Amino acid sequence: MSFASLGQFPQYRPRRLRQSAALRRLVQETSLRAGQLVLPLFARAGRKTRAPVASMPGVFQLSPDEIIREAAAAQAAGVAGVLLFGIPERKDEKASGAYAANGIVQQTVRLLKKELPDFLVLTDVCLCEYMSHGHCGVIGKGKGRGVDNDPTLALLARTALSHAEAGADVVAPSDMMDGRVGAIRQVLDRQGFSGTPILSYAAKFASAYYGPFREAAESAPKFGDRRAYQMDGANALEALREVAMDIQEGADMVMVKPALAYLDILHRVKTEFGYPTAAYAVSGEYAMIKAAGAKGWIDERAVTLESLLAMRRAGADFIVTYSATAAARWLKED
């Protein structure tokens, strides 16, 4: 549409369509529904365990039985599904807990699919929570001791396969290693899981907004940072190249993370590729809204829903958010 053409319509008065809630709903361009939301959950061993995450009020590390309770509440509210992260009892330099047949994520996936068979279960595929050093891959032995890309791919593929075998509906690699989507797709297809979709964290930026997540997932690096493999926040064209590469390797859906500070990237990804596109409203975004809401400085409900709507308007088909259940309930009330 050319807005220059509006000069041809001198009687255009947009305020006429804003006079009532019914009129505003009638001409609303972007919708936000509960079924477009996914709830991240942190699974840990135990029973009846709800360990609060101090920097994320209302978020907990949960034992599998408590995961079922949270997931059931989310499903009842209309949320589409959950995205699982695992917190193992032991960590090592091979991330063996990530792909163990009876690992915490694998156990939880099986229980979820048994108890809530129609609820979507997505699994985060990364190694940082399981590595003793907290990085997303195998540490090389050469100069600089950074993450060694290619040896990491085999472990990521093994992890994704173990999630699919447990019953995961979608596997979501978040490590940002080069070639990991292709490696995962190849292993899944070879082992009879060609129908398992891959949601790639295709444009994942090295962001200060991840701070509270480090506490929730117990995944802070023991040395250095993740800037050598997560993206530079200054680079938009690189993000498009990353997305293109992951689609070429077999990604079925792509994600931009974080969300609010990268809405321009989200819009460009959706416009350029037209693929199912997710936004991840990350821990820092959630924590800031919760903290300001608790102080009475903002209306938590209104700001949360406005932020989620902005992500939809920018191009997100669905949104991963810690506010999923609350937002779904608020949407029902509106």
Q: Which of these is catalytic: 91, 204, 270, 290? A: 204
* Tokens of residue 41, six digits: 């959950």
Cα maximum dimension of the chain:
71
| Cα distances (angstroms) measured from residue 60 to each of 49, 53, 64, 87 | 9, 5, 12, 12
* Tokens of residue 15, six digits: 């305020």
User: Terminal CA-to-CA distance of the chain, rounded, Å?
Assistant: 31
Q: Residue length, the chain? A: 334
Q: Which of these is catalytic: 257, 290, 295, 332? A: 257
* Tokens of residue 92, six digits: 């090592």
- Catalytic site residue 204? yes
**How many angstroms from the chain centroid is the CA of residue 118?**
20
CA dist 252 and 242 (Å) reads 14
What sign for the dihedral angle of Cα 185, 186, 189, 191? negative
Decide: helix, strand or coil at residue 72. Answer: helix
Decide: helix, strand or coil at residue 282. Answer: coil
- Catalytic site residue 257? yes
Select from 7, 78, 75, 85 the least CA-distant residue to 40. 85
Alpha helices in the chain (DSSP H): 21-26, 64-77, 96-99, 104-115, 149-166, 180-190, 211-217, 237-249, 263-273, 283-295, 300-314, 324-333
Active site residues: 204, 257
